[in-house]
Structure 1
Amino acid sequence: MSDKPVDQLSESEARAELDRLTAALRHHDALYYRHDAPEISDAAYDALKRRALEIEDRFPDLTTAESPSQAVGAAVAAQFAPVRHGVPMLSLDNAFAPEEVTDFVARIRRFLKLAGDEPVAFVAEPKIDGLSASLRYENGVLVTGATRGDGRTGEDVTANLRTLDDIPDRLAGSGWPSVVEVRGEVYAPNDAFDAFNAAAEAAGARTYANPRNFAAGSLRQKDPAITATRPLRFFAYAWGETSQPIAGTQWEALQILRAWGFPVNDRSERVEEAAGLMAIYDRLQTDRARLGYDIDGVVYKVDRLDWQSRLGFVARTPRWAVAHKFPAQQAQTVLEGIDIQVGRTGSHTPVARLRPVTVGGVVVRNATLHNADEIARLDVRLGDTVTLQRAGDVIPQILGVVDPDRPDRGEPYDFPHICACPLKTPLVKETTAAGVESVVRRCTGELACPFQRIEHLKHFASRRAFDIEGLGEKQLIAFHERGWIREPADIFRLARDEARLAELRAEEGYGETSVRNLVAGIDARRTIALDRFIYGLGVRDIGEQTSLVLARAFETWPAFEAACVAAASGVPSEAWTRLAEAHAISPRVLHALAAARPPTTDPWPEAPLDQKIALAFPGLAAPARRSLAGLAADWGGLVELARIAREEGPSDALGQIAGVAGVGPVAARALALFFREPHNRAMVDALVAELDRIEDAERPKTDTAVAGKTVVFTGALERFTRDEAKARAESLGAKVSGSVSKKTDYLVAGPGAGSKLADAQKHGVKVLTEDEWLALIGG
């Protein structure tokens, strides 16, 4: 990760770094959620995400559906039925420093346009380090209990949740809505957790690293009788879908939840302004060790629910709440070795092997070293005593060497230059189209590399992709080593290979039932949703959200496949990509370059190059002219740039994919490159041949008055803020644009509307007042 401040990054530098950060965060999400093997601390993860969000804030056009600001949550485990949440369970933004809390309060005041003397009240609650759960009650009776999952869909753990004494089967009191989703955190008290671990260790049974893992593992037991023996508790603090409002403020809602029979945290408080928030933060941090349960910060929520509604959401996080995290915990130990892990895309990630040490009550044996550059920066060597930092329940990071000047230090670590696979393929550092070298070293063997092949197969069968029950990592590795599974289609062929199935039935650990379940799990996925199919292909830069966006945009597999195949023959040259990613070179500038066709002979030999550019391409802004002057150097270079813009750009088919809102050129190019490779096409064709059906994507909702319409807001809006208006329109299926064209359906004009109003009249666009807009959308 670059140390250059975000406000000093050029757009091309920002794009390259955001790509790196997005890939890193996706990698760590997969380790944490899918493999239960995280390799960086919460603090390190938060630092990566904060920098990514800063880049997105400064360069909003770089944001796609796969960007860090759009991602949330985990996946649904195969052994539990999926439960669709009535209202999504979203994540919170984090704050770490006092000034970030002050900024949070100031943003709320600005958004709501509050007078300076009007106080903002908050409810501050301890941030319990447990597992989120949602409880659906109908007519006062518990009908479903689910984990958060990926925010939209959770795991059905109703039977397990019913075993908790803190969760009522029937709501107490009266006045509850006919439908209400009560949300909170399942956790384990520290003393009960310690007692369980001591008894388990004495009996030679499994122990847990910390109370959070214990709570998650206990709630996900297949047998509720096991969950019933675990000392789990529950705090209620929120709600999801309700058939009618339950309160006017967050504080009042907590008292109502208590009256319905739920435990509510006694350390929650109603306070005002940033000073009140910081006071309770300091008190809870001081008392943290004496609470009897783990917390990793404090959550602040705007008290008034009507203000929460107005504030709404940014991407997948609410504007009206933030989690103020506690500092990470540190310790020292000895670095005993460095192991290299090979990822699905060939990335070689170093992991430190440590002399076991307890950090915050957890025994730590490994830590992340990120990449070769980080090892060189830290100058860590075998035998060094190092300082660790840990936050939460993940593998920590190494901060530095305690005594780098000791005379008996070992030799500097020599990062591998060839892959650990039998092919011994050279490792390379990739360079982006903008000329920025990646810090990640990758094996160039791709699917020929057995490490990458098995990682691709793990990804394909993972929960968020094909989610094949009974085919876990252990089975995949075993089948791959036998030569039975080398590509995704082989998984489905195995389910019909009677000779190999008979061999399995005869082996210890399988038997008739296991084989029957394996075949059933595979056959169940011969029908697959289009977005899961796309994600399962494992195309680089195509994550779960981008897969969903693509599926909805193209709707059917034949349409999507045809677009990708067409795009494969229209990948832009590296020269065009460098030009497109240069500072201030927008699509409009590229179009002007391509259309101009400047003569090969300089018509203005005595003029400065900047003036020549202004004459050759009238209408270009000064930043674009300066950028072109830096790229071209002379008239001949300018002619060559125009030729590149005209002849080496993306095809219309590639542009169609890149033009899908939330996809962009990076993901579109990745798809085109993937489908351009014959072995990838063969792999996809073989897979499709084994499936029964790839289900069409769910069509966008069309049941609102403005669904599918393009809306522009202008003027000094008085009934709502601009952000509030945009959020409301998008929630109803409308597209909000910043400019008026003949494709615009409505212009909502407040006082002082200027050029956009004139453009609307020129194009015949319907103009609405704020009141007319509210009447159209139903208030």
Structure 2
Amino acid sequence: MARRSTASSDSTSSGDSSGAPSGESSGPPSGDRTGDLFGDVPSRAAALREEIRRHDRLYYLESAPVISDAEYDALFRELRELEQASPSLVSADSPTQRVGAPLPEGSGFEKVAHEVPMLSIDSLFGDDEVRDFEEKILRYLKLESGAELAWSVEPKFDGVSAALTYVDGQLARALTRGDGQVGEDVTANVRTVRNVPLSLDTGGAPAPTLLEVRGEMLIARAAFERFNLERAGRGETILANPRNATSGAIRRNDPAEVARYPLEFHVYGVARLEGAQFATHTELLAALRGWGLPDSGHARRVVGLDAAIAYHDELEARRFELPFEIDGVVAKLDDLALRERLGRTARSMRWQYAHKFAAMEATTVLRAIEVQVGANGRLTPRAHLDPVEVLGVIVRHATLHNAEVAKELGARPGDRVFVRRAGDVIPQVTGVAEAAKGRAPKGWKDELPESLVEHLDGGRTAPRAGVTWAWRSEFSMPDVCPACGTAAVREGAYWRCPNRFECPPQLVGRLETLVGRSAFDIDALGTKKLAQLLEHGYLHSPADVFHLQPEPLLELERWGQKSVENLFEELEKRRRIPFDRFLVALAIDEVGPATAKLLARNFRDLQALHAASEEELQHLDGIGPEMARKIRLWFEDERNQAFVARLLEGGVVVQPLGSAAGSGELSGKRFVVTGTLESLSRAEAKQLIEDLGGQVVSTVSAKTDYLVVGEKPGTKAKKAAELGIPCLEEAAFLALAGRERSGPPRD
């Protein structure tokens, strides 16, 4: 799960703070908690530390938080203030002490030998190899063939292994795996990982005098996506995948920077244990959870190899549903005494194996890098590869994301590169496996993919514009659009062709948007027929679709009398279109179906939207300054105005949505919704307002008619009071809407 945020001044968190259910804190209320009311300060600080540790356990270990993130932050903030006022209260295991000082510039991590080597796991592929492995174990233990052993099975995470040592219950050291014999001391960085306990929970059982756990550092898929969005917003490089991000984060020199990453730790075993004894791995995992150490939650005890294989098959079928990247299953003998008897080889333990999934990653040769032009004008580098099978699919192309990612990867034609594919996600190049060396092999240019070759007069050929193909040549983004030659412009991490109206790929993209299912929904005009009409000069603008004539089409290949009749029957039916679908058809940047519906519900027609200012657009809940600016600029462009005019000249009739026409009990009224309502979610309240003709805006202003308030309304209620705007509690709001509250209060 995503990390809980804190109010710490020396670290930042990129976790999602919206998902924790509300509830009652077992601690005292927030506010001033010092002085006589709560006893002496040292006792209060100790109580706060214990309370915060309890909530960390509920949140990270049990996925059952009982307070909101805001309440958690208040506890954390109070403890930090107490410790700042009385530095003698600070203890090494305090939740406020997770972030330490950065390493001196130019220094590296200390190398430390593992007390117990971090050995490899035997990787097995297919059920037969797994059965052979078990047979070897049975022979070694002198057990009958077919005897059913108990296995502890768990996901094999694709993360970064780490070893954490606790002495008398306190986190003393954290090491990377390194080469298995020697790792790097990353204790200061691991202390920033929010679900790593700095001290073990001894509420259920005493902590062992010495405990060394092994586990995996990870970033969940959803957290990784949010983190990349935040990085893009700050103008930082987009990270390629969760594993690379984890590996890079854990070895950064500044713990405060590490704290920004949504890292998690999941324990999978114990290397050293003094002060406690267990008979099985299952019992040991339960004890680790009791001491506050998090695991994946997916481990299972099974009896018999068939059950272990079934677990593997189950997880492989669900691998893309799980929150983390996994590449197989690890199976360990559950009986610790049997493990002792089996021992280890020079490189691995005899009592465990990894049953791998079909590979998501392979290596192949990079042939060329082509810069493609998207329907929105964005220039995207794409890798052309020697064909390679990944997850059962032959991959010939892979994305390089953008110029910055391509530069950071440093891949050049001729290099052997890693190609990764996860589920239905577009394959991507994740790194260079082996750089090209020496001179180009004979015939390198002749093997350039046909799609990248341009045929010239006299039978000559040349690489197309925007293609980097020469052996070991460095890639760079072109200064001009490869499709139309217009000077490219930079927008953050991306480059774009601004020639929206004449650049061929953008024209095709706008045509596909206009005839698509979310807009005019013209089935008779697929991609191939649109390209054909463009090639023959029958379409110069998407609006020309409604100005086509039947006679010329009959002369084209694959256009018969019946297909032409079907097209024009469909065009006649589709000329009447709801306002929101019409807005989608215009292909305004960032205006998809949801935003189009929002605009159509709040503006009665095209003229009203055309006249709306950026400020008016930003009042809509869901439209920010950048989107408002783009909408405004779109309508101010004379070429867009001509495009709309030509659509209307083609007989297109735009039909307003019901609420936009001014009907309903709340017609013409502007609402802001704030706080937590009892019987409605905020989304339900918003939908009710819009269904009854009202408009939901995001900020309180003099133009706001009503503020609908729930629990903890925040600053919006104060501003509404200052402006004299009526505040409606839920019952009053429902009465105004002509509805009665129904059902039990929401949790």
Structure with greater proportional helix content:
1
Larger radius of gyration: 2
